[in-house]
Amino acid sequence: MPQAEGKEKTHIRGSVKKKSLPDAETFSKGILSGDIVLLSRAITLVESTLHSHQELAEAILEKCLPHSGKSIRVGITGIPGVGKSTFIEAFGNHLIDQGRKVAVLTIDPTSQLSRGSILGDKTRMETLSRRKEVFIRPSPSGDSLGGVARKTRETIFLCESAGFDTILVETVGVGQSETAVNSMVDVFLLLLIAGAGDELQGIKRGIMEMADMIAITKADGENIGRANRAKAETISAVHFLPAHESGIHTDVRTCSALTGEGISEIWTEIANFIKTIREKGYLEKKRKEQAKHWLHESVQSILLDDFFSKMGTDFHKAEELVTQGLAGSYQTARKLVQRYKNEDKNLSK
C-alpha cells in the first residue's frame, strides 16, 4: 500500500500517460468491495492538485457518497507531548480486538513544512500499523488548513465506503485545526496531560468547549496521583462551560496507554455517547449542520480563490493604497469586485 502511494505520487508529478488510471466505476466498485490499494489511490486523487485527477476524484466521491456515513467518527486532539500517538496505538489496537475496522487520519496544519510524515506515522504507531484491520493515512499536504481539512473530510467518506466503521481523526498542534476537525467528527476527545497545576493554561477555552470527552493521559506509575488531581481540576473547570446541546456533560477520566488502564472505558463511553445522541436525533442534526457548514465554506473558498487568482496583482496594488490611508477599504473592495466581475466576462468571451 505505501508502494502504491509512492507510485501514484511520482505519477502525479510526472506525465499523466505513464500509467493509465482506472475509471470512476472501477475505482468505486473496488473501494466498495474493500480494495485498500484502490482506496489509497483514490485518496491520492482527492489530494492531487491536477485538474484531471480532481475530476476523477469527484466522480469517485459521487459514487461512494451514498455508501458512506456508517462509521463512528472520533476526533482526537491534545498538545504535543500529551502522547497522542501512543494513545491512538493503544486505543486502535483495542478497537480492532473488539472486531472493529479502524482508519486513522491526521490533520496537520504544519504538514506542508515537514514532508515525509508517512514513514513517521508508520513508525510512531508501530504495532497498530502492522495490523491488517487498520488503515493509517497521514495528513494531505495543502495550501491552507481549509484545503487540508476538506480533503480529510472526503477521505473519511472514502474510508467509510471501503468498510471502515471507526474513523479516528487526529489533529496535530493546538489551535485552528480543532475547529476544522470538529466540523467533520461525531465526537471530540481532548487529551490532557497532568502538569504543574496549570494544565489548562495551554488549552484555549474554545477547545475545552468543543470537547465531548476529556482524558488525562499517562496515568501510570508515579504519575497516578498527579493525573487524578488533574482530573479533579478539569472536572471543576468543565463545570463552568456551557452544557452540550443534548444535555450530556463532558466526561472526564484518566487513562494510560502503557498499562492499558482506562482505554476500554473510553471506548465504552464513546459508544454510549454516540448511542445517546443518535437516539435523540443530535447525531443526524450535527452531520447535517456539518454538511451545510462545508457547503458554505467551499463556496467561499472557491469564490475567493478564483478572485485572488485573477485579481492578485490588482489586489496587492490596492492593498498598498489602503494601508497608506490613501483609499478606503470598503470602497476599494467594491471597485475590485466590480473589476473582477468584468474581468471574468472578458476572459470568457
Task: Please state the closest distance from residue 89 (CB atom) to a second copy, in A.
Answer: 32
**Does 334 interact with a second copy (rule: CB under 8 A)?**
yes
304 binds a second copy (CB under 8 A): yes
| Smallest separation (angstroms) from a second copy to the CB of 197 | 12
302's CB contacts (< 8 A; 6+ apart) are none
User: What is the distance between the alpha carbons of residues 349 and 344, in angstroms, rounded to a whole number?
Assistant: 9
Cβ partners under 8 Å of residue 175, min gap 6? 109, 204
Q: Is 154 in the site for a second copy (CB under 8 A)?
A: yes
Question: What is the Cα Rg of the chain in Å?
Answer: 22
Among 61, 148, 213, 266, contact with a second copy (rule: CB under 8 A) = 61
Site string for a second copy, 122-151 (x = CB under 8 A): ----------------------------x-
Instruction: Tally Cβ neighbours within 10 Å of residue 66.
Output: 8
Q: Does 174 bind a second copy (CB under 8 A)?
A: no
Name the segment binding a second copy (CB under 8 A); options: 129-137, 225-233, 249-257, 291-299: 291-299
- Dump the DSSP string for 299-316: HHHHHHHHHHHHHHHHHH
CB 280 within 8 A of CB 246: yes
297 binds a second copy (CB under 8 A): yes
Binding residue for a second copy, selected from 52, 303, 312, 317, defined by CB under 8 A: 303
Residues 177 to 216: which contact a second copy by CB under 8 A?
198, 201, 204-206
DSSP 103-144: EEEEE-TTTTTS--HHHHHHHHTHHHHTSTTEEEEPPPP-SS
Beta strands in the chain (DSSP E): 72-77, 102-107, 134-137, 166-171, 187-193, 213-217, 251-254
Binding site for a second copy (CB under 8 A): 58, 61-62, 65-66, 68-69, 150, 153-154, 157, 198, 201, 204-206, 240, 288, 291-292, 294-295, 297-300, 302-304, 306-307, 315, 318-319, 322-323, 325-334, 336-337, 340-341, 344-345, 348
